[in-house]
Structure 1
Amino acid sequence: MDIREFLALGEELLAIPSTADRGAELERALEFTLGVVGPGFTVERFVSNGKPSALVYRGARRPQFRVLLNGHLDVVPGTPEQFQPRRDGDRLFARGAQDMKLSALAQAMAFRDAPAEVPVGLQLVTDEEVGGYDGTAFQLAQGVSADFVVIGEYSGLRLVVESKGLLTARVRASGRAAHSAYPWLGDNAVLKLMRAIDGVLAVYPVAAEEVWRTTVNVARVETGGTAVNQVPADATAWLDIRYTAEDGDFAGRTPDEVAAYLTSLCPADVVVEVDRVEPPHHADPEGADVAALQRAARAQGYSGDFLRKHGAADSRFYHQHGIDAVIFGIGGDGQHGPDEYADLTTVEPYYRALVDFLSGVR
């Protein structure tokens, strides 16, 4: 890897505001990265709900991949300044620097430079930040498969073999409208909703520090009322819940079962609707491919330690298909925040670890 070339390409990629609402920019980020891979490969293109993705491999026919490198090129929204990359020593600041354009770019180069006989594919998607259903999940539904998957989300060259499950729910409270000067004539739905939220958070209190347990985030609260001088007749709260595999109240449960459980934590007349329940991700830490990737990281001077992630990633889709997937990426900090940056000292070791790992795959 020529690090100067990589940084020049990386800054160009980071300057593309490839957010979910900019379809043309998603396409531009995808085409840019495919251009880095270069000619001589088969490129399969997919589109689902306007979100483009690609699958790159050698040969005329898509194989059952021995290893698949997965990277996403979409980012969460940011200020215009965040799409103007800037360096400060070994840090490169920009939206997507850590999560995960630079890892995806390094994956593209490692794929390009891997020995030709290695049965590896490169999967580039543009919808991970909004769920991954039109990228990785869609490609899996079209028959794409692999024995082992390396997802380039940031990890500082450690291996994420376990991630929390994800579910989203809406808590709805109903009341009776009235003039706010005469509250005894109404039934305030917001107050009822607040009691419901308190009931849920009593079981799942807001974490004050990192802890491996189920967490609940109250993401949004809305009411249909528009007048300040009116008792609201309805109110809704959106919950984002991340749960561990050990939490039997969520793990292995259907949406209806989860809705019934959450309803039991709320006052009467409050309705809970569960939109989706996605299982935790797990990869076998004793697997041969995991061990080989760990050795490759250690050969670059990194621990290759195992990590557990609180957030969900596209690895969950592979887990649902019985395919081991690990998260393995560069380092950095500030994901989704105003000061997101990539640790540039991890880029070359990451690339070399990938090439070393792929060179040993048979």
Structure 2
Amino acid sequence: MDLPARAAELIAVPSTTDRPGDLRRALELVLDVVGPGFTVEWFESRGKPSALVHLPGSRPAFRVLLNAHLDVVPADAYAARRDGDRLYGRGAQDMKVAALVLADVFRSLAPVLPYPLGLQLVTDEEVGGYDGTAHQVAAGVAAGFVVIGEQSGLRVVTDSKGILQVRLHATGTAAHAAYPWLGANALLTLTAAVDAVLRRYPVPPEEQWRTTVNVARIETGNRAVNQVPAEATAWLDIRFPSEDTDLAGRTAEEITAFLRALSGVDVTVDSLGPPHHADPDSPEVTLLRAAAREAGYSGELLRKHGAADGRFYSARGVDAVIFGPGGDGQHGPHEYADLTTVAPYRKALVLFLTGLSPAR
């Protein structure tokens, strides 16, 4: 396979969440790499297509499932550009190059391995993963171990944070701005509530493995400068590790009560995804790290601050890890995949899959 050429063709597809036709087109391009002779199960949820590929016959419980997402965040342009060993373009690092490698490895090894191997291709990871990986898991797709090809520089990610998106809402009493004592300023109440949350979870001065809060937006319906606002809303994006027992393992109702007590205002949970954790001492992780080292990389463990689709497997007691090639600049105008890591990445995957015991 001429991977740079294939990757350039795939990167050129603007597979954003608002383009269902291009989401399917990206899927079909990767399935072309897999080629004939396999069963392709198609799924769709809320307009988001996904596919599951395995050997002909009924769907097995996979010993290993290779997972890749083909959607990207929007960009001004989608053409790929190569500069030496760097392939630039939206989705190059996150994660179209890795998806092609996973497809090629699956095509080569699925027919000869002594256990069932699956390839899971989804198109909604960038918007939450609920209509791709989560939808397939709910439909009965099962595996003993999952490798997600997100970028990692051949390090093995066994932990990623949960995601919590909430709104804080404060109400007050409108009044003329010249007589503020006659009203109650909802914006002041809201900023005090936000400050209370940030005192509990201050912005770290540098990278730290703890809960973080991003204040994404504050709004009020008030449009008059000479009026005391009667309502205001703040949108917060909270990322939390499994060690934060106030959030991890809690229901939306429990989290609502916790944040309401902390902030003193009304709270609405818009989105909640649990942290992802895989046993770093499991035989699969141990073998994958050894394969990465044999391919010339450290294979060290890594923790990611962003949420990932592995949480849908972790929630069901299935170990899932992120293991991908190198690059940088994801979601930015200078995103690139490091092509020098592609061959070692493929080698590590092959060593891992061929060295794995058929039984857990």
TM over 0.5: yes
Deviations 1:226-250 (A, max 9, x none): 3444322111111111112121211
Show the counterpart of 1:130: 127
Structure 2 residue 56 is the aligned partner of structure 1 residue 59: yes
Looking at structure 1, the residues matched to 178 and 123 of structure 2 have their Cα atoms a distance apart, in angstroms, of 51
Deviation at 1:137, TM superposition (A): 0.5
- Separation in 2 of the partners of 1:186 and 1:115? 69
Distance in 2 between the 1:227 and 1:183 partners? 14
Q: Distance in 2 between matches of 1:88 and 1:178?
A: 61
Q: What do you get for the CA RMSD once the two structures are aligned?
A: 1.4
Determine the structure 1 residue equivalent to 2:11. 14
| 1:278 corresponding residue in structure 2 | 273
SS at match of 1:65: coil
Could you say if the C-alpha distance between residues 28 and 181 of structure 1 is closer, same or farther in structure 2, counting changes exceeding 3 Å? farther
Q: Distance in 2 between matches of 1:18 and 1:219?
A: 25
Q: Secondary structure at the match of 2:53?
A: strand
Question: Match for residue 336 of structure 1?
Answer: 331
- Tell me if the contact between 1:113 and 1:355 (Cα under 8 Å) persists in the aligned partners: no
Q: How far 1:257 moved relative to its partner? A: 1.8
1:117, 1:346 → 2: CA distance?
A: 25
- Are the structure 2 counterparts of residues 84 and 174 from structure 1 closer, same or farther at C-alpha, using a change threshold of 3 Å? same
Distance in 1 between residues matched to 2:13 and 2:187, nearest whole Å: 42
Q: Measure how far apart 1:252 and its partner are.
A: 2.1
Aligned to 1:346: 341
Deviations 1:16-66 (A, max 9, x none): 111111111111111111111111110000000000000001122111111
Residue 192 of structure 1 pairs with residue 221 of structure 2: no
Scaled by the length of structure 1, what TM-score is found?
0.94
What is the aligned length?
355
The question of whether the paired residues in 2 share the 8 Å contact of 1:115 and 1:359 is answered with: no
* Matched-pair contact (CA < 8 Å) for 1:319–1:325: yes
Which one is further off, 324-333 or 85-94? 85-94
Residue identity matched to 1:295:
A
Name the amino acid aligned to 2:163. Answer: L
* Partners of 1:180 and 1:75 in 2: CA distance: 46
Change (3 A) 1:70 1:194: same
Paired residue for 2:233? 236
| Inter-partner Cα distance in structure 1 for 2:107 and 2:223 | 57
Q: Which residue in 2 is equivalent to 1:159? A: 156
Secondary structure in 2 matching 1:146 = coil
Shift of 1:187: 2.1
Matched residue type, 1:315? G
Query: Would you say the 8 A contact 2:217–2:236 is kept in 1?
Result: yes
Which is worse superposed, 208-217 or 109-118? Answer: 109-118
- Looking at structure 2, the residues matched to 97 and 226 of structure 1 have their Cα atoms a distance apart, in angstroms, of 43
Q: CA deviation at 1:165?
A: 1.7
**2:105 pairs with 102, 110, 113, which one?**
110
Counterpart residue identity of residue 277, structure 2: H
Matched, 1:140 2:137: yes
Aligned 1:25-64 pairs, distance under 5 A: 25-64=22-61
On the 8 A contact 1:255/1:275 being kept in 2, the answer is no
Counterpart of 2:354, as a letter, is S
Question: Which residue matches 1:178?
Answer: 175
Comparing 33-42 and 175-184, the one that deviates more: 175-184
**1:178 to partner: Cα distance:** 2.9
Q: Within 5 Å, which residues of 2 pair with 1:191-230?
A: 191-230=188-227
Instruction: Give 2:291's aligned amino acid.
Output: A
Give yes or no for contact 1:249–1:261 (8 Å, CA) kept in 2.
yes
Structure 2 gap segments, 5+ residues each: none
Identity of aligned residues (%): 65
Distance (Å, rounded) in 2 between the aligned partners of 1:256 and 1:159: 34
Q: 1:68: how far off? A: 0.3
Q: 1:324 aligns with which of 319, 322, 327?
A: 319
The one-letter amino acid paired with 1:89 is G
Q: Tell me how far apart the structure 2 counterparts of residues 202 and 338 of structure 1 sit (CA, whole Å).
A: 34
The answer as to 2:117 corresponding to 1:120 is yes
Quick one: distance in 1 between partners of 2:315 and 2:278? Answer: 11
Partner secondary structure for residue 70 of structure 1: strand
Q: Gaps (5+ residues) in structure 1?
A: none
Task: Return 161-170 or 274-283, whichever deviates more.
Answer: 274-283
In 2, distance between residues paired with 1:318 and 1:60?
Answer: 24
Residue matched to 2:81: 86
Q: TM-score, normalised by structure 2?
A: 0.95
Matched AA of 1:47: E
Match of 1:315 among 303, 310, 317: 310
CA distance in 1, matches of 2:18, 2:226: 36
Verify: 1:359 aligned to 2:326, yes or no.
Answer: no
